[in-house]
Amino acid sequence: MFDLDRWQEIFQTIGKNKLRTILAGFTIAFAILLFTLLFGIGNGLKHSFEKRFSNDAANSVYIRSGITTKPYKGLQSGRKIQFRNDDSKFINEKFEDEVQFFSPNVERYNVQAIYVGEHNNYTVRGVYPDYQPLESAEIKDGRFLSYLDLKRKAKVVAIGRLVEKDLFGNKNALGKNISLDGISYKVVGVFTDPGGDRDERFIYTPFSTAQGMYRINDELDQIGLTYNPSLKVDQAIAFSNLLQKMLKEKHNIDPRDQAAIRIQNYAEDAKNVQQLMFGLNIIILFIGIGTLIAGIIGISNIMVYIVKERTKEIGIRKALGATPGSIIGMIMMESIFITASAGYVGLLLGVFALKGIASTVEEYGILNPSVETYVVVGATIILIIAGTIAGYIPAKRAASIKPIVALNDE
Amino acid sequence: MIRIEKLHKSYPIGKGSLHVLKGLDLHIKEGEFVAIMGSSGSGKSTLLNIVGLLDGHDTGKYYLNGQLIENLDEKKAAILRNKFLGFVFQSFNLINYKSALENVALPLYYQGVGRKERQRIALQYLDKVGLKDRAEHLPSELSGGEKQRVAIARALVTNPKVVLADEPTGALDSATTHSVMELLKEINREGMTVFVITHEEDVAAETDRIVRLKDGVIISDEKVNKKVNA
């Protein structure tokens, strides 16, 4: 395949015919540069949307209780609805298939945490191990809470990254004991949370530990769960509606009472975001295809021009014994070489340009504008193929012209 | 070397066709120096194109080096051209971005000869036409006579059986014409079959045999009496 002599011949032709090399190369490099820039900026828009909606798991549902606003079945309005452990059990039993992760939650605000000399106030949440995926929390050091912790009512905590920073400075909190309102807990893990500073100032402790500590009985504050990700958006909405209806029945609440039980379902939001993303993807795709088509048309025109310009040379070569195959091969290898190397230059320029503008465009809501390598490589390959086909057709024609006709071409 | 029997060739023109060669018979032996003469439209260029395998013929037979030429596809024709034929054109037809040496070496490239070897042989032939010191010059830096010498070196470089020259002196002044013809004569003396097409009497007179063509038929075919021209 690799024929040094052939490549030397091709490099000479490329080097000695700078204008047409530059013309063809510029078209490709420019098309790929534009493609990379537009695609990258589109991706940047996408990234900032993704970030905005990635604080919690996209399929999460939060259930909170409130005070009734309507009298029902002889019960007066203004009654406080209190979830208890049997509500957790109820949901898990009734919706075994629909529920993926599940965690009840006991919350305590303004708990004073102390480590050696440092102290600060935080919200402490008693949760199940499932709470970690619900919050999209990522473990940085150690581990999250376990079911064994839950069973043992262990005095352990997983603390947010910023809690560690506040109390421990640059030191590692893992394995240390901190005091929460005077009671000592062992730090088993440190987590980060894409939700931001507020979410990284939480302290998580096993649900059973917190319930025992802060509640006199089996009360709980709220319930978080994620629904089975295989549910479609509409099914997810139907699921949360049914869940609400059944909980209202269980607690003797008027079905029309909006305040007593509130369910926050991200499915609606997720649906909107998905549609927006879909729209964005279409726009990005459209831009990409448009740029590529412009590039293809450009390179095709130039290839036709190049071959036309070379008709006489082709005639000479044929008179000297060049076979049609060798003529086609020469023109195509030239065009492939030019388009591939120019495409690479365009890709590099585009990627560097994206890096260069990244910090400037961030304030306009374009986050991390970048292009997946395979997309640009794919685009370059498409242009190379286009250049090859665009070169092949006139090359084939030129190679089939009788040499005598080609020689008379002035 | 070249044997042609009842050769016919027509070109389609609009709906009809133009009958250019009307049954030519011609036999050129190895080592001959032949001039084909005729005014424009006599069919001499067509004859050269067919002999040079640059164009096909309609009916009749053509033997090149004893081989019957028929049903040639482009590839076979290219290989035969490369092996048996060397071309010299009126307009030189050098590739303008290649140096004299590279132009001369090009036919060897299509024979698959290695780069070093190509350059060595090409330089040898440039030396033969007296242009060794011009090897690295581009065609645009050469005079008309020098260009034609480069083209002759290129025609010879594959050591072909026949050199076909189409009005080789058509673009040259009389002094250069003479030197180019001297070169062709010298090549012929070394045993090469040379086939020249011209419309100039004094060019034809330098050859050994003159075939005159008119309206697609041979009207005369005679040996040149060297003593008359001397």
Closest in A315, A326, A407 to B110, CB measured: A326
pLDDT digits (tens, 9 = 90+) for A233-249: 788 888 888 998 999 99
| In a domain? residue B20 | no
Both A174 and A291 in one domain: the answer is no
**pLDDT tops 70 at residue B113:** yes
Contact B54 A326 (CB under 8 A): no
Both A301 and A317 in one domain: the answer is yes
For residue B125, the model assigns a pLDDT of: 93
Both A36 and A65 in one domain: the answer is no
pLDDT digits (tens, 9 = 90+) for B200-219: 888 888 899 999 998 889 99
Task: Identify all chain A residues contacting B78, using CB atoms and an 8 Å cutoff.
Answer: 318, 321-324
**pLDDT tops 50 at residue A36:** yes
Task: Identify all chain A residues contacting B110, using CB atoms and an 8 Å cutoff.
Answer: 317, 320-323, 326
Q: Answer yes or no: are the C-beta atoms of A56 and A196 closer than 8 Å.
A: no
Chain A interface with B: residues with Cβ < 8 Å: 5, 8-9, 12-13, 16-17, 312-313, 315-326, 399-400, 402-404, 407
For residue B34, the model assigns a pLDDT of: 93
Task: Identify all chain B residues contacting A13, using CB atoms and an 8 Å cutoff.
Answer: 97
For residue A53, the model assigns a pLDDT of: 64
Contact A9 B83 (CB under 8 A): no
Contact B97 A17 (CB under 8 A): yes
Both A25 and A91 in one domain: the answer is no
pLDDT digits (tens, 9 = 90+) for B68-86: 988 888 888 888 888 899 9
Domain count, chain A: 2
Average pLDDT over residues A315-321: 87
Both A65 and A187 in one domain: the answer is yes
A275 or B137, higher pLDDT: B137
Both A310 and A257 in one domain: the answer is no
Task: Identify all chain B residues contacting A400, using CB atoms and an 8 Å cutoff.
Answer: 74
For residue B135, the model assigns a pLDDT of: 92
Average pLDDT over residues A296-324: 83
Query: What is the band of A259 on the pLDDT scale with cuts at 50, 70, 90?
Result: confident
For residue A329, the model assigns a pLDDT of: 85
Going by C-alpha positions, the residue among A45, A38, A46 that lies closest to residue A288 is A38
Q: Which domain holds residue A28?
A: 4-52+272-407
**pLDDT tops 70 at residue B11:** yes
For residue A49, the model assigns a pLDDT of: 74
**pLDDT tops 50 at residue B227:** no
**pLDDT tops 50 at residue A1:** no
Q: Is B210 helix (H, G, I), strand (E, B) or coil?
A: strand
Q: How far is CA B111 from CA A5, B108, B159, B207, in A?
A: 12, 5, 12, 31
Both A247 and A341 in one domain: the answer is no
pTM: 0.65
Domain count, chain B: 1
Q: How far is CA A126 from CA A121, A141, A155, A392, in A?
A: 16, 20, 11, 70
| In a domain? residue B182 | yes
Closest in B78, B93, B154 to A322, CB measured: B78
Q: Answer yes or no: are the C-beta atoms of B33 and B209 closer than 8 Å.
A: yes
Q: In what order do the strands lie in the sheet with B16-28?
A: B16-28, B2-13, B59-64, B67-68
| In a domain? residue B61 | no
Both A283 and A328 in one domain: the answer is yes
A216 or B207, higher pLDDT: B207
Closest chain B residue by Cα to residue A9: B109
Contact A312 B93 (CB under 8 A): yes
Going by C-alpha positions, the residue among B127, B103, B128 that lies closest to residue B183 is B128
For residue A96, the model assigns a pLDDT of: 87
Helices (H) and strands (E) in chain B, counts: 8, 10
Contact A325 B75 (CB under 8 A): yes
- CATH number, domain at B169? 3.40.50.300
pLDDT digits (tens, 9 = 90+) for A80-124: 889 999 999 999 888 888 889 999 999 999 999 999 888 899 999
| In a domain? residue B22 | no
Q: Answer yes or no: are the C-beta atoms of A160 and A200 closer than 8 Å.
A: yes
Q: Which domain holds residue B207?
A: 30-56+71-229
Average pLDDT over residues A326-340: 83
Structural domain ending residue among the three candidates A213, A232, A265: A265
Mutate to test the interface with B, among A311, A320, A328, A401 (most CBs of B within 10 A): A320
Q: Answer yes or no: are the C-beta atoms of A143 and A157 closer than 8 Å.
A: no
Closest in A315, A322, A404 to B110, CB measured: A322
Closest in B78, B93, B111 to A316, CB measured: B93
Closest in A9, A323, A404 to B79, CB measured: A323
Query: What is the band of B100 on the pLDDT scale with cuts at 50, 70, 90?
Result: very high
Both A253 and A296 in one domain: the answer is no
For residue B230, the model assigns a pLDDT of: 41
Structural domain ending residue among the three candidates A226, A246, A265: A265
Distance from CA of B228 to the nearest CA of A (A): 37
Distance from CA of B167 to the nearest CA of A (A): 14
Structural domain ending residue among the three candidates A265, A282, A309: A265
Query: What is the band of A281 on the pLDDT scale with cuts at 50, 70, 90?
Result: confident
For residue A370, the model assigns a pLDDT of: 78
Both A241 and A145 in one domain: the answer is yes
Please give the helix or strand (H or E) that residue B196 lies within, else none.
strand B193-198
Both A148 and A25 in one domain: the answer is no
pLDDT digits (tens, 9 = 90+) for B179-197: 889 999 999 998 899 999 9
Percent of chain A past pLDDT 90, that is, above it, reads 20
Q: Is B159 helix (H, G, I), strand (E, B) or coil?
A: coil
- Encode B14-41 in three state secondary structure: CCEEEEEEEEEEEEECCCCEEEEECCCC
Chain CA centroid to CA B93, Å: 12
pLDDT digits (tens, 9 = 90+) for A338-350: 888 888 888 888 8
**pLDDT tops 80 at residue A403:** no
For residue A102, the model assigns a pLDDT of: 92
For residue A409, the model assigns a pLDDT of: 63
**pLDDT tops 90 at residue A54:** no
**pLDDT tops 50 at residue A336:** yes
**pLDDT tops 90 at residue B157:** yes
Closest chain A residue by Cα to residue B102: A9
Both A281 and A202 in one domain: the answer is no
**pLDDT tops 90 at residue A202:** yes
* β-bridge partners, B12: B17
Closest in B54, B94, B110 to A403, CB measured: B54
- According to the per-residue pLDDT averaged within each range, which of A53-57, A156-160, A402-406, B197-201 is highest? A156-160
Contact B107 A325 (CB under 8 A): no
pLDDT digits (tens, 9 = 90+) for B35-49: 999 888 788 888 888
**pLDDT tops 80 at residue B8:** yes
pLDDT digits (tens, 9 = 90+) for A142-196: 999 999 999 999 999 999 999 999 999 888 989 999 999 889 999 999 999 887 7
Mean pLDDT of all residues in chain A?
Answer: 84
